[in-house]
Amino acid sequence: MMKIELAAYFKSIVDQDQCAVVICGLDHEIIYMNPAAVTRYGKRGGQALVGKSLLDCHDPQSREMISKVVSWFAESVEHNRIYTSRNEKENKDVYMVALRDEGGALIGYYEKHEYREIEKAKRYDFG
């Protein structure tokens, strides 16, 4: 049986997500942005943000909260997701989510957008 490289599958899952996904290491460096994130943050630099600090994109209060959340993630393998904000205009909730290696060690984090709009597409519309 052929060995499956899961990384390509996981990358494809993230890249197909219509929500912006920005993945950061523990030093807050942006290590990956999916196509939706590159588009969403285009006016702030888009793809050029990769390699930069996420903290540079936020005000002092937000930087403090991001750091507190990462510390909370590090306290326990049970601390993996926290609600951070609501965007009424876009009808979405925003969460920070811990990223862990196979042993449970914290390796980074990302922001998860969850839109609350009812789907308007027809079911299985291949048109």
pLDDT tens column, 21-51: 999 999 999 999 999 999 999 999 999 999 9
Q: How far apart are CA 76 and CA 98, in angstroms?
A: 11
Ordered by where they begin, the domains of the chain are: 19-115 (3.30.450.20)
pLDDT tens column, 56-93: 999 999 999 999 999 999 999 999 999 999 999 999 99
